[in-house]
Amino acid sequence: MAMGNASPKEVTLYSEGSRIAAEIFTPTGKAPPEGWPAILLCHGWGGLKDHLARYARKFSEAGYVCMTFDYRGWGESDGRVIATRDAPRLLEAGEIELKVRVLREIVDPVDQTTDIRNCLAYLWSEPGVDRSRIGIWGTSYGGGHAVFTGGNDDRVKAIVAQIGGFGFPPEHRDWARERAADKARGKLDTIVPQDGVDGVEGLKGTPDVGRMAEHSQLGAAARVKVPTLILDAEFEELNNRLEHGWAAYMAIRQNAPAEYATYPCKHYAVYDEHCGDSTNRAIAWFHKYL
């Protein structure tokens, strides 16, 4: 395996037309004849690609091509564009001048997992990558996305999900569906309430609860057929880990090698005092299964 890595390469990719800012970290030295194994890194709720650079560097030093990226509407990636209400109907294909509204910092699992799939397509086609050895690593809300992607895309050969979120609280589903109905009927000024109307205290961004209510990362866990490591905070305060990470593990282990481990801490401490160990565990997992 390689030691050390060069400066990351900045790239722009397209996710359903939105420009996504990403960085690729490549091991130093000559690539193996079959290419390097690769890892796509997915950040969590309100996160940015820059937050994951330290993980990407460690993985790259261990011999993996790595990609970090900003979801659409976050960091250096395009925001979502919608026509203003007084704009003419878009009835013809082609280029036109149009007054639009740009939406940013929306937490939408459907858009985010679509961005992940498009990033995966870019990484899969990157020169020097072994297309048969691609893993995915996700943290926090991105941990659930990593499992969702692994359960729906056979390009993913191994998964690591740390302190992940795996679904929407069922007790709030009816309220979320009312939000979805308001969106469909145009009762909201934008497609989701802005300025923290549906926000979560302490978390940046506005969740699209209507989309969240119909998107199940946990449901996708039952379709995962590749080795999966789930790392949790024993005293997780953002969700009930038994209904999230543990439940995902129990579903995955029916169909694939799986391990579940916890750290004696709350959510954010995994990024601090347990960062070194969690990263080393992930590397060992990818070494074993990629």
Domain borders along the chain are 9-82+99-167+217-289, 170-214
d(CA 76, CA 54) in angstroms, rounded, equals 18
* 175 has a pLDDT exceeding 50: yes
Least confident range of 28-32, 130-134, 192-196 = 192-196
pLDDT digits (tens, 9 = 90+) for 220-262: 999 999 999 999 999 999 999 999 999 999 999 999 999 999 9
pLDDT, residue 189, reads: 75
> Is the pLDDT confidence value at 196 over 70?
no
Q: What is the pLDDT of residues 125-145, one digit of tens each?
A: 999 999 999 999 999 999 999
What b/e string do you get for 47-79 counting C-beta neighbours within 10 Å, with b at 16 or more? Answer: bbbebbbebbbbbbbbbbbbbbbbbbbbbbbbb
Q: What share of the chain is helix, strand, coil (3-state, %, to 5)?
A: 35, 25, 45
For 9-82+99-167+217-289, the fitting CATH number among 3.20.20.70, 3.40.50.10420, 3.40.50.1820, 1.10.630.10 is: 3.40.50.1820
Quick check: 64 pLDDT over 70? Answer: yes
Among the listed residues 208, 289, 255, the one whose alpha carbon sits nearest the alpha carbon of residue 39 = 289
CA distance 127 to 125: 6
